[in-house]
Amino acid sequence: MFIIMLFLGLIISIQVKAIELNKQKTESAKSDIAYYTNLLNIEKEYTVKTTAELEVLREKKNELLEKALIDSGYTTMFETLQKINRIAGFTEVSGTGVKVILDDQLVDDPRYPALTSAIHDSDIRQVVDIMRSGGAIAIAVNGERVVSTSELTCNGPTVQINKRKYPVPYVITCVGDPVKISTLLSNDYYLNGRILSNIDFKMELSDSITIPAFSDYDKINQYIDALKGDKVS
């Protein structure tokens, strides 16, 4: 009897101690999370702020260049430069267009396994390719401008474009003929099959879509350094 009582006492004291210890641990983890979340928010604010400032600087640079070139009589040269930049995807483009949103639709239903109802890189590629076929003049995936070197590949739970990784949902926007492009999209055999296997597909026609400039427009050396024997023609 005595031994049992001793044991009982021991357990109670361990329990009390364990509870206290856990409380401490959880609290320290909580405060760590709060600390890093705060740091992350500061960094995010910086990103938003600097991106906006960069945009302002960029406009200023273009104005200065325009003025300098035109003042010096290089008007044609300036126009050529603008045209090249537009084809390269270094300028923002606005106009009528289509917006497609692709998302996972994971439900606890054996008819729709996660493998088929999750979005894959091939789904995004299909939408982008249809937009190209429909004559879109500018396309973006999650705000990343699709340019000549843009890859769309699967990278774990994310999809990589322009060397950056994005999770779901995927917002694919384009400037072009909204009726033509949306018709092609809604009649596509592959996409309709995917909708049947339960992916979340939304499409909007829009009067004003803005496609941003290529995010690496001022760092393109890394994209052309293998093209050594180039000739300007």
Partner 1 sequence: MKRSRNLLGSISLLIVCVVLGVLVSLQLKSVNSAQNLQLNANKRLEEIQNELIQQTRINRDLADRYAELKNYVETVENQTFEADDAFQRIMEEKRNAEIFAGLTEVSGSGVVITILAGTDFFVRDSDLRSVVNELRAAGAQAISVNEERMVATSEIREAGPYIVINGKQFPSNAQFEIKGIARAEDLERAMLMVSGIGEQLELYNIEFEIVKSEKVTIPRLREDSPAYRYDMIK
Which 118-137 residues touch partner 1, going by CB under 8 A? 125, 129, 132-133, 135-137
If the CB atoms of residues 13 and 202 are measured against partner 1, the closer one turns out to be 13
CA 143 to chain centre: 6
187 near partner 1, judged by CB under 8 A = no
List the structure tokens of 82.
């603008």
159 near partner 1, judged by CB under 8 A = no
142 near partner 1, judged by CB under 8 A = no
User: With left for phi above 0 and alpha for psi between -120 and 50, is residue 31 left, alpha or beta?
Assistant: alpha
If the CB atoms of residues 109 and 221 are measured against partner 1, the closer one turns out to be 221
For residue 187, CA distances in Å to 19, 66, 68, 150, 169 come to: 61, 45, 50, 26, 22
Length of the chain: 233
C-alpha–C-alpha distance, residues 134 and 202, integer Å: 18
Binding to partner 1 in span 201-220, by CB under 8 A: 218-220
Cβ at position 180, least distance to partner 1 in Å: 12
141 near partner 1, judged by CB under 8 A = no
Q: How many CB atoms lie within 10 A of CB 175?
A: 23
Out of 76, 108, 207, 226, point to the residue binding partner 1 (CB under 8 A): 226
Binding to partner 1 in span 85-114, by CB under 8 A: 85-90, 95
Binding to partner 1 in span 6-35, by CB under 8 A: 7-8, 11-12, 14-15, 18-19, 22, 25-26, 29-30, 32-33
39 near partner 1, judged by CB under 8 A = yes
Out of 108, 109, 207, 230, point to the residue binding partner 1 (CB under 8 A): 230
Task: Give the count of alpha carbons within 13 A of 55, CB side only.
Answer: 12
229 near partner 1, judged by CB under 8 A = yes
List the structure tokens of 206.
């829009």
For residue 143, CA distances in Å to 27, 166, 176, 224 come to: 38, 10, 16, 22
Cβ at position 109, least distance to partner 1 in Å: 27
Size of the site for partner 1 (CB under 8 A): 85
